[in-house]
Amino acid sequence: MTQTRGYALITGASAGIGAAFARELAARGHPLVLSARRVERLESLAQSLREAHRIDIQIIPADLAERDAPRLLCEEVARRGLGVDLLVNNAGYGVTGYFLSQPWQVQADFIQVLMTAPTELCHRLLPAMRERGHGRIINVASLAGHVPGSAGQTLYAGAKSYLIKLSQALHLEYGPDGVNTCALCPGFTYTEFHDVTGSRAMMSKLPKWLWMDAQTVVRQGLRAVDRGEAVHINGRVNRMIKSLLKLMPDRLALALMGRQSRRIRKKKPD
């Protein structure tokens, strides 16, 4: 990515994997467009990276749960004359609780942020990449997209699976034009994700060998998209989990996931 002269647009850049992408790309001299809802965090991150690496960093706050946000984000990028050659669709979160325990608007916002918004950003930014004959798209998916759905986060696995399939299709369609698309699929990663979902205490009991740090995930993702990988699962353990579940009969894999869900989320459905 160090040869690229355009900007990297990172959504959900205020924390976690998004912030790790910003730090890694800034260290490589890549100018950045950082977007998220939390403006104060974006400004703090941008200022520290400017001082450390002396690169241009633009901030465009956006709440991707708003239906017009992807369009307005791209229009502001164009208004500022910022050519984007790397799109990192990272914005995301988890909705805890069973499907009916949350109002429909909460579920609709989740679909908008994790599925509709990244798809629209790809659609709006891909034409210029294709015209230049060079571009990179990383859709941050998850190991969850490769395994059966679980109780307690009803839409999460489905949304991540969608990003994987979207990335594969875009890879086949526009890879020949010089635009590589990769679905990055980390497993358990040290970020604040589990603090937000209220599952930190439970997750801290898991063995350390299941976990990866965000910076390693990011570096592997950047290498994968440059190599032209349509899907990259981070870590040997995660690749082994995916392979084992794929070999199992669907009924058995689903039963195992159900058992694990009951261990993690003891609350009964509403």
Per-residue confidence (pLDDT) for residue 229, from 0 to 100: 98
Which superfamily does CATH assign the domain made up of 7-264 to?
NAD(P)-binding Rossmann-like Domain (3.40.50.720)
Domain ranges, ordered by start, for the chain: 7-264
What's the pLDDT score for residue 232?
97
87-106 residue pLDDT tens:
999 999 999 899 999 999 99
Residue 265 pLDDT? 57
Residue ranges of the chain with per-residue pLDDT less than 70: 1-5, 190-211, 260-270
> Amino acid identity, residue 177?
D
pTM of the model: 0.87
Positions marked active-site:
156
pLDDT of 186 reads: 94
Are the beta carbons of 116 and 59 closer than 8 angstroms?
Answer: no
Q: What is the pLDDT of residue 243?
A: 86
SS3 string, the chain, reads CCCCCCEEEEECCCCHHHHHHHHHHHHCCCCEEEECCCHHHHHHHHHHHHHHHCCCEEECCCCCCCCCHHHHHHHHHHHCCCCEEEEEECCCCCCCECHHHCCHHHHHHHHHHHHHHHHHHHHHHHHHHHHHCCEEEEEECCHHHHCCCCCCECCHHHHHHHHHHHHHHHHHHHHHHCEEEEEEECCEEECCHHHHCCCHHHHCCCCHHHEEEHHHHHHHHHHHHHHCCCEEECCHHHHHHHHHHHHCCHHHHHHHHHHHHHHHCCCCCC
Q: How many CB atoms lie within 10 A of CB 76?
A: 16
Give the model's pLDDT for residue 251. 83
Q: Give me the pLDDT at residue 242, please.
A: 86
pLDDT in the model for residue 194: 45
Q: Report the pLDDT value the prediction gives residue 263, as an integer from 0 to 100.
A: 62
